[in-house]
Amino acid sequence: MDTCRLSKRGETVIKNSIKTDKKGFSLTVLQKRLLSVSLAIAFIFCVIAGRFFYLQVVSGSRLVLRAEDQWNREIPVIAARGAITDRNGKVLAGNRNTYSVFVRPAAVEDKLFTATALAAALRLDAKELHAKISVSGVSEVTVAKHAEGENVQKLAGLQLDGVYFARDNTRVYTYGEALCQVLGFTSTDGTGISGLEKYYNTLLAGENGEVLYGTDIIGVEREDAAVVYSPAQDGSSVSLTIDAEIQLAVEEAARSVYASSQAKAVSCIVLDPQNFDILALVNYPSYDLNDVPRDDAEQLNSLSRNRMVVDIYEPGSTFKVVTAAANLQEYVNGNPSAYSPERVFNSSRTRTVDGTRIKCWSDHKNGKHANQTLAQALNNSCNPCFTDIALSLGKEKFYEYLSAFGFGSATGIDFSGEAVGMLLPQSVVRNCDLARIGFGQTVAVTGLQLACAVAAAVNGGNYYLPHLVKAITSPEGGTEKIMPVLKTKVIGERASQMLAEMLEGVVTEGSGKKAYIEGYRVGGKTGTAQKYEDGKIAAGKYVSSFVGFFPADKPRYLALVTVDEPQGAYYGSVVAAPVAKEIFEDIIAIKNIQPYI
């Protein structure tokens, strides 16, 4: 009996225990559910609070403006784009006051009359214009851009309801084609899209303003509304290093040789070797900046390329100036491998390097290959002599000079799209490559790179940062001058002087005779390079060039002329050198430079 009682009592205890567990379990689930609901409510509250914070604090100002915009209409006040002038203040790119014409259809009562009046004044199609301003749901219609002031004055006299005007300016280029690839042009809304107009757009553009009118919800101006005027901030003006008179003279010289040689293209740069101010920069053929061929993208892209800066070519013998400069500096440094001014080259007209045969363009007539010195090798433009120099200096040393002279890297000019040229990595250069680089093959340069390198070689060895902008003037009249920046010293004064004298000899008695000007000390070097297509020499296609400077003892003007694919005569001495002479003679006349003798 006791056992039974114990069993029943145990059973009772177990049942009570089970009930207690169930009750505890139920409470735990309820608590969890309450917690989940509380968290959900808290999360929703946080989202709502966060949204309120975003709308009131983060986006408050923007939303207020959007709300106000529903009740306001604005007329833009276009900032006057800054002028571009030459170094002497002559305007190259300026503005003509023109206007945009707007119509608010909701404010126009007699749309047919308004359309007819606008069409007559602006020379538009009245029927199309009537349809345009009759479209419902449109708050504002742009009727015309760049309308002439006299036409707008006629419209203003009619006092047409719902018709508004705003100055938009039209860019005007004083000299048409001149400097077209340098200045570039703007879009129809006045934004610079090429050349210096693009490069300095932020400075030139300024900041537009607006006139704000209060309207009702459909766009009709309220009689009691205030007019809010936010003035435009005009753009800054930039003064270039360009000399307009020299530029026009170079343009004419390029145009002349382009016609006479039936060349594919002609390019020329004139700079001041003492600070690398670019005085003129021409690429021909060109186009009129006041009549940009916007409908033909391919033609516009071709004509607007500033080839002196963005295209590369194999320079040929003009590159021998750099090789000679490196050799003379090593001679001054006491390097026994360098050729002294008195040292005589091997008289053979050929060299064989790594199985590659290199020969001179001339034959043995007149003793051209008998006992040549460096000066005579420059006069005769003898390839084997410069092969000897490059090999004697060695790959490492020669590449040090090539790097110092800026080849294989950008000059840093203030112009978009500058090419870096093509220079084989030093690690892969073979002796035959080095030999050819010595006389301007197996290397490609921009005209700007070569002009800067030669300028540094003859000005005492100073390599400056080339630049096109000389000063920036704010709308308030403050002027910031752009000072010359010396990048590096490539060779010393003595080596530079020796080289300049040798190059003067090239003009007085060598291949550059057609650049000689009586009474003036002109130095220079000719170049004739074959062109390549698909890795092979293109038969009958050459780049004829000449780089010259004067006065030879202290150069102030340096010109590089390149004539691409001239027909008939193609030697640089015959085609390009006379162009440089013409340019120098024009500069002498423009600047009234007296003869040396």
Q: Return the structure tokens found at 61.
A: 């100002």
Name residues whose C-beta falls within 8 Å of residue 53's C-beta, 6 or more positions apart in sequence: none
- Strand pairing class (486-489; 462-464): antiparallel
- Residue 233's H or E segment, with its range, is none
Query: At a CB cut-off of 8 Å and minimum separation 6, what does 217 contact?
Result: 70, 71
DSSP 342-361: TPPPP--SEEEETTEEEE-S
Closest CA relative to residue 230, chosen from 397, 104, 19, 75: 75
**218 touches 86 (CB < 8 A):** no
> Do 75 and 166 meet the contact criterion of CB atoms below 8 Å apart?
yes
Neighbouring residues of 64: CB distance < 8 A, sequence distance ≥ 6: none
CB 528 within 8 A of CB 561: no
End-to-end CA distance of the chain: give it in Å, rounded: 151
Integer Cα distance of 348 and 526 in angstroms? 22
Kind of pairing between the strands at 237-240 and 84-85? parallel
Write phi, then psi, for 192 (nearest 5 degrees): -65, 130
239, 267, 317, 381: the active-site residue:
317
Q: How far apart are CA 448 and CA 310, in angstroms?
A: 9
Report the helix count and the strand count for the chain, using DSSP H and E: 20, 23
Cβ within 8 Å of residue 481, ≥6 positions away: 470, 471
Alpha carbon separation from 374 to 383, 475, 504 (Å, rounded):
12, 55, 13
CA angle 279, 310, 417 (to 5 degrees): 100
Strands (E), 133-261: 141-148, 163-167, 170-173, 209-214, 227-230, 237-240
Chain length of the chain: 597
Torsion of CA 127, 132, 134, 140, to 10 degrees: -150
Instruction: Enter the DSSP assignment of 106.
Output: G
Which two tokens mark 386? 């410069």
Q: Give me the sheet containing 98-103, strands edge to edge.
A: 141-148, 98-103, 163-167
Half-sphere exposure of 149 (CA within 13 A, CB side): 7
Tokens 């090419």 appear where? 419
CB contact at 8 A, 279 and 242: yes
Nearest to 78 by CA among 32, 136, 146: 146
CA within 13 Å, CB half, 100 = 17
Annotated catalytic residue 317:
yes
Among 127, 75, 76, 64, residue whose Cα is nearest residue 104 = 75
Catalytically annotated residues: 317
